[in-house]
Chains A and B, each alone.
Chain A
Amino acid sequence: MFLIVLTVHVLTLTVFVGTAVMLDLRLLGMTMTRVPVSEVMGRLLPWTTAGFLVMIASGALLFYAAPMLRYQNVFFRLKMVTLVLAGLNVWIFRNTVYRRVAEWDLDPVPPRRARVAGGLSLLLWAVMITLGRMIPYQLYWFD
């Protein structure tokens, strides 16, 4: 059962991080530059959100399989911190730069603050994947 939840968690990450990456690449002006940013956001974000919800649900189940072990795992703790930071990045972006998206919607390369948000997002998800992958290694490396 745990293995099925783990499989779901890892496979859904391709949907979640995958679509998020395509979104972030558009914000960086590195892909689909002829498509308006609001179009990419509007059409891909529902999939990203759905993926995110499945990630949270499966992640919560994985946590509850052995809560004390996870809580004491340094990689898990850092991963949760990274998740909060990623959420913060999204929230700040949506409430500042993205408010005025109509001004730069059609630009192939968005303004610097949007690019920073996109790049930071990519970096944070990469860190999330790394930390998640390292969770089992606490046993070998630290204990």
Chain B
Amino acid sequence: MSVLDFCKWLQFSAPLVAMRSSPWLFPIIATVHLMGLAMIGGAVLVVDLRLLGLGLRRQPVAQIARDAERWLLRSLLVSLPTGALLFMCFATKYYYLTFFWVKMASLLAVLVFTFSIRRRVTMADETRVSPAWSKVVALVSLSLWTTVAIGGRWIGFP
């Protein structure tokens, strides 16, 4: 089964057909997806600003990171399922849109990056992490998330 066939199968399954036939279900799911996105922004920004030596810079990185991670996970719990539903609704259309794949690739990259390298840097003993590397990690994180967001916004454009 090709990727396109899989998209077709998803899109025409019963729950997705029901989602498409309601005039308000898609907008509501899209709105909740957007709220999750805003929350992700806050949780990510608080930590990345701290890594850049901005924001809550009088607090230890690890303390901020630990509190923020809880909310990052919760907001991902909102954004990922709603995103999946939005995708499945028009899967065969998204399959052909470049920016959708740009978004998915950068999303995968940023999630892997966040929960491996960035996590290691934020939870490490601060005296052992050079400020230069902290800034690099923050900038990579911010760049990837920005790509995800812009990619998401531009999905509809050729």
Show the binding face of A for B, using Cβ within 8 Å.
3, 6-7, 10-11, 13-15, 17-22, 25, 31-35, 39-40, 43-44, 47, 125-126, 129-130, 133-134, 137, 140-141
Contact = CB atoms under 8 A, between A and B. Distances in A.
Given A14-B149, A47-B55, 9 more contacts: A10-B34, A10-B149, A14-B42, A18-B41, A18-B45, A34-B63, A39-B58, A44-B46, A47-B49
B153 A22 contact: no
Contacts of B35: 126, 129
A44 B30 contact: no
Contacts of A18: 38-45
B22 interface: no
A1 to B, nearest CB: 13
Task: Please classify the interface of chain B as helix (H, G, I), strand (E, B), loop, or mixed, using the class held by over half of its residues.
Answer: helix
Interface stretch (B11-19, B64-72, B88-96, B113-121): B64-72
A40 B42 CA distance: 13
B46 A19 contact: yes
Contacts of A22: 42-43, 45-46, 68, 71
B140 interface: no
B59 A35 contact: yes
